[in-house]
Amino acid sequence: MSAAVETGPTICYQHPVTGEATDPLPAQKAFHESPAKYRAYVGGMGSGKTLGGCKEAIYQSQVYPNNLGLIARFEFESLRDTTMDTFFEEAMTPELRASCEWRASDKELRFPNGSRILFRHLQNPKKFLSFTPGWFWIDEAIEEGCGPAWEILKKRIRLKGARRNAWVTTNPGAQSSYLFREWDRARATADPRYFMVKARSTENRYLPRDYVDELMHMDADEFQMYVMGEFVAAHGAILYNFRPEVHVVPDFPIPFDWWRIRAIDIGINHPFVCLWMAYDPTGSAVFVYREWVARDLNLEQNAKYIENLSIGETIQWSVIDPAARQRGFTTGTSTVQQLAGYGLTCRCGDNDVDSSINLIRTLLASTTDPRTRRVLSPRLYVMKSCPETARQMETWRYDERRGQAGKPVRKDDDCVAALRYGVMSLPLAGRPEMAYEEPEPSLMERMADQALRRRGEEWAHNIITPSYSVMRGLPGTIFGRYGTRGVRGAMR
């Protein structure tokens, strides 16, 4: 890879062997010359993108006196070991290093003209809310966690007398990443503020031949990303055949004869999720038509919101994470029992992860009728009013960390967990009627049970307080253990 030399307000590169001045690589040249406010240099391994980012940072610090810039990466260790090493060892000349002041404790580089460059990690992006730079650069911006920092920093560029721009350099990643989506949206709308240049590893004429040969042995997805510099479908994607342009459909009224179910994933440190799913009983398709994703609400509040959203609908059943049957240490009751007390009666779902993943993949797939050779449409869709469900289906992936291979990442998967419980409860999963274990009745429910047997519905209504009423439409008379059967069904 070529090293770089600063010669005043111009950018020039130096041959890594002979030391002679040389032209930048084609992608580097295009990157430097672009007038766009937001630039992306996306390339394979060794394509010269980090060096190009370093050179741009030095150039803007020298051309605009009293400038303030930020060089960042998600983790400081990666910033120190790669980006900063390239910056100080390859991009800066000995003369430039001698003229600048490096403040190690502040991680700050000061130029003779008053310009400053800060080196920071992005693990706490809110700390930049009062930061007002003239430019910033995020290296390896595809790394998970860089998205929120990018959104915050874009709104902070306002230093007077500077160019006020930002750029990212990175290996490409999944097409579901914030980076791809933002630049792809800009491309579709011809937004002049955005520019992206892509570079292949093989375009760097200074790479050792044996290094290039080694890159040729990657698998297909890795080769596309780390050599060809192309974004691919989500790497390690679990629902790899989910395509938003196919499976996300406009909202439409649900036919009255379709089944409606609710699928719930409970969360303490994660959101509480409820998905409403419509199922054509002929078996043709399943549609996720409503989603409820809430944080910082208790069980009673979630139950009330879900019941209110379901008014006017006939819900065949509600299925929930089977972990909800476990009793709380302090309350002595399970989540299923508590929800039943608030009017939301649920059956415990099937949490067979592998089987549910295979089932969802099957429903998403387009198949061919073996008799007619006709292509059959997928059988699982998400309506546009459920954006979080669609996003998680697209980004859900396997954990690639050592010792975790083959296991789904247990993060940002609450909607797909509810989806798994829902599809596994439908007849298409081979479970037309799941066995439902009713929770043990509470003391108040046992009192109501005795009252119903001895004195009848009217007497029970008079002794039970409204706070224990849970059945929609008959306030003060129905109790969670009876679900939608009601009092009269329980008395039979």
The domain ranges of the chain are 3-226, 244-429, 443-491
What CATH class is the domain 3-226? Answer: alpha beta
- Residue 116 makes CB contacts below 8 A (sequence gap 6+) with 61, 67, 68, 69, 108, 109, 110
Nearest to 394 by CA among 364, 351, 438: 364
User: Which two three-digit tokens encode residue 363?
Assistant: 């429903």
Say what the pTM is: 0.54
Instruction: Identify the CA nearest to 162 among candidates 115, 111, 129, 100.
Output: 115
What are φ and ψ of residue 38, in 5° steps? -120, 115
**pLDDT at residue 431, rounded to an integer:** 42
User: Is the backbone of residue 403 left (phi > 0), alpha (psi -120 to 50) or beta?
Assistant: left
8 A C-beta contact, residue 46 and residue 99:
no
10-residue averages of pLDDT along the chain (492 residues): 46 70 89 96 94 95 96 95 94 91 96 96 92 96 90 94 96 83 88 95 90 83 84 74 87 92 87 94 87 90 94 93 80 86 91 90 74 71 94 84 67 91 80 44 59 55 40 33 34 32
- Residue 356 · residue 420 · CB < 8 Å: yes
Do 239 and 247 touch, CB atoms closer than 8 A? no
* pLDDT of res. 472: 34
Residue from 401, 364, 392 nearest 265 by CA: 392
Closest CA to 430 of 370, 347, 346, 362: 362
Residue 379 backbone phi and psi in degrees, to 5: -120, 10
Report the pLDDT value the prediction gives residue 74, as an integer from 0 to 100: 93
Instruction: Tell me the three-class secondary structure of the chain, residue by residue.
Output: CCEEEEECCEEEEECCCCCCEECCCHHHHHHHHCCCCEEEEEECCCCCHHHHHHHHHHHHHHHCCCCEEEEEECCHHHHHHHHHHHHHHHHCCHHHHHHCEEECCCCEEECCCCCEEEEEECCCHHHHCCCCCCEEEEECCCCCCHHHHHHHHHCCCCCCCCCCEEEEEECCCECCCHHHHHHHHHHHCCCCCEEEEEECHHHCCCCCHHHHHHHCCCCHHHHHHHCCCCCECCCCECCCCCCHHHHEECCCCCCCCCEEEEEEECCCCCCEEEEEEEECCCCCCEEEEEEEEECCCCHHHHHHHHHHHCCCCCCCEEEECHHHHCECCCCCCEHHHHHHHCCCCCEECCCCHHHHHHHHHHHHCCEECCCCCCEECCCEEEECCCHHHHHHHHHCEECCCCCCCCCECCCCCHHHHHHHHHHHHCHHHCCCCCCCCCCCCCHHHHHHHHHHHHCCHHHHHHHCCHHHCCCCCCCCCCCHHHHHHHHHHHHC
| Token digits of residue 441 | 């009745």
Please choose, from the candidates 188, 241, 192, 232, the residue with its C-alpha nearest in 3D space to the C-alpha of residue 362.
Answer: 241
Whole-angstrom Cα distance, residue 261 to residue 319?
Answer: 8
As a whole number of angstroms, the distance between CA 261 and CA 274 comes to 10
CATH of domain 244-429: 3.30.420.280
d(CA 344, CA 315): 11
- In 3D space, the residue among 243, 235, 241, 237 whose CA is nearest the CA of residue 361 turns out to be 241
Torsion of CA 128, 132, 133, 134, to 10 degrees: 150
Return left, alpha or beta for 190; rule: phi > 0 is left, psi -120 to 50 is alpha, else beta: left
Q: What is the pLDDT of residue 69?
A: 97
Nearest to 252 by CA among 220, 216, 288, 225: 288
